[in-house]
């Protein structure tokens, strides 16, 4: 287990769709452990392998201390018509956040670290986190969900913070 460097916005690797995991082995488990350690150190509540520059569909979420979940090849199976707004940010763009509107409830399909197929229904903050991380795996950076004006202002704020 190790804390790895997180790639930062605007690194183009954050906009590349990740490849499906095909090998469920000790290397995958080690990557998941590194993701958890790196996310905790950032700090954050969710991280993907692409945040470390590894183009694989692997997500770690820890919304409550000690309750980490690992999601391999997650996909959105269904989403509610009802939406919620929640403040989002990224370990790849620390120091800035903004409010994003997303479906309030989702069901995702994924595999665990052993390769067993699973589904999970989520609502509220957990649903937001799943959508945020699946977007990242699809090469959609969270700021892409903002209006152009909000996105430009947020990038300017981030650039100012990065220079400080």
SS3 assignment, position 59: strand
Compute the distance between CA of residue 62 and CA of residue 64 in angstroms, rounded to an integer.
6
Peptide bond into 10 cis (omega under 30): yes
- What percent of the chain is helix, strand and coil (3-state, nearest 5)? 35, 30, 35
Active-site entry in 62, 99, 101, 133: 133
Instruction: Give the number of C-alpha atoms closer than 13 A to the C-alpha of residue 56, restricted to the C-beta side.
Output: 19
Whether 101 is a known active-site residue: answer: no
Residues designated catalytic: 133
């Amino acid at each position: 287990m190790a804390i790895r460097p997180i790639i930062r916005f605007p690194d183009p690797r954050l906009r590349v769709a990740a490849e499906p995991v095909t090998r469920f082995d000790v290397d995958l488990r080690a990557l998941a452990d590194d993701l958890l350690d790196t996310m905790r150190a950032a700090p954050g509540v969710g991280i993907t392998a692409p945040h470390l520059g590894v183009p694989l569909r692997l997500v770690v979420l820890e919304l409550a201390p000690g309750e980490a979940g690992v999601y391999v090849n997650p996909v959105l199976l269904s989403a509610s018509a009802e939406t919620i707004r929640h403040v989002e940010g990224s370990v790849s763009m620390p120091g800035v956040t903004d409010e994003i509107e997303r479906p309030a409830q989702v069901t995702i399909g994924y595999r665990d670290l052993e390769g067993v197929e699973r589904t999970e229904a989520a609502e509220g903050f957990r649903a937001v986190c799943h959508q945020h991380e699946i977007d990242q795996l699809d090469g959609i950076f969270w700021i892409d969900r903002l209006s152009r004006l909000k996105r430009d202002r947020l990038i300017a704020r981030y650039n100012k913070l990065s220079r400080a």
